[in-house]
Amino acid sequence: MGLGNKLIVSATGFPGTNKTLRFIQDAFREPLGALAQLAGDKTIITGVVNTAGVVSNGFITYNGEIIPFQGGNYASTVTIIEAFENVNYNTDANDDTVLDSLPAYRTIYAMCGTGGIDIFNFSDLAPLKTIKELSNFSLPAGIVIDANYVHTDNNFTLSLLNKLNGISTGAEVNVQADWNVANPTSKSFIKNKPTDLLSYLYKGVAIVGDFPNDLTATTYINFPDIGTSNYMVLGTIHSFRPYGDAAQDLLSWFTAAHERTRFRLGAYEPFGGPQNIRFEYILIPLQL
């Protein structure tokens, strides 16, 4: 039965070559590299426990490999030590009668400190949870277990479930309401709108100055065509004087001759003197 790549030595006199050594190395390196990828980078596989300032030996993942961690005194940084050892090969590439000295053994490990090919914080190392630890996981109190819902995190509480159940079927988010929509089946329709809202046809300000310029007088107030002469005039006399002048700006007024583009404003001044006023008004439609 297969156990992955393995060396099969069928008899004595096996012809060992460089290929043999690479085959043996790859048979371990590739599966261990896959496990390192599964665990994630800078993960503690075993050991590496800080006890009273002394860190124990162990193994960690680094750059897709599982490498030894050499214990010792704690430091806030971890460094990666990589060394190569040369040996004399049975080759002489330059024919100088001296065997070629080439790399043969690579040693790599992690330790607390600095000075290696890489440095990172000791706090970056995270222990890998064991199968037993993962199997003992329990949900926090108040979490709802319901096969009919997709849970995205561990904060899905019973109150959130009740809120979710209260959402009507077919409900949509961010639907903009429209006051003018009259179709009750429209998503923008506003239900239970009040029916007795006050509307107006036009609002304006007429500068009339010294009015009336006699004991009584009338003048036309003009405005754009509002399409009807059936309206009420709501108005007020506004004095241009900062504090007003009751002896001059106090008037009795009325309107008459309502037309689609104007109405007549009449006034009586009980006291003499010039006025300096404006007439502010709103035209309200009448449904008679």
Give domain status of residue 153, yes or no: no
End-of-domain residue from the set 82, 102, 132? 132
Q: Give the model's pLDDT for residue 35.
A: 87
Q: In Å, how far are 67, 98, 253, 269, 281 from 213, measured between CA atoms?
A: 105, 127, 14, 9, 21
Q: Give the model's pLDDT for residue 107.
A: 93
- 26-45 b/e with 16+ CB inside 10 Å = b? eeeeeeebeebeebeebbbb
Q: Give the model's pLDDT for residue 3.
A: 66
Alpha helices in the chain, H assignment, sequence order = 18-39, 131-135, 158-165, 246-249
End-of-domain residue from the set 86, 102, 132? 132
Give domain status of residue 189, yes or no: no
Q: Give the model's pLDDT for residue 25.
A: 84
Q: Give the model's pLDDT for residue 258.
A: 95
Give domain status of residue 264, yes or no: yes
Where in the sequence is the domain holding 81, given as residue range(s)?
18-132
Q: Give the model's pLDDT for residue 179.
A: 76
Give domain status of residue 277, yes or no: yes
Give domain status of residue 239, yes or no: yes
DSSP per-residue codes, 131-171: HHHHHT--PPTTB---TTS---STT-BHHHHHHHHTSPTT-
Give domain status of residue 164, yes or no: no
Tell me the pLDDT of the chain (288 aa) as tens digits: 456 788 788 888 888 888 888 888 888 888 888 888 888 999 999 999 999 999 999 999 999 999 999 999 999 999 999 999 999 988 888 889 889 888 888 999 999 999 999 999 999 999 988 888 888 877 676 666 665 665 565 566 777 778 878 887 777 777 778 778 888 888 788 888 887 777 889 999 988 888 778 888 889 999 999 999 999 999 998 888 776 666 677 888 899 999 999 999 988 888 777 778 889 999 999 875
Give the Cα separation of 268 and 218 in Å (integer). 9
The total domain count for the chain is: 2
Give domain status of residue 247, yes or no: yes
Give domain status of residue 185, yes or no: no
- Judged on CB neighbours under 10 Å (0-12, 13-18, 19+), 55 is buried
End-of-domain residue from the set 105, 132, 159? 132
125 shares its domain with 29: yes
CATH number, domain containing residue 243? 2.60.40
Task: Record the pTM.
Answer: 0.46
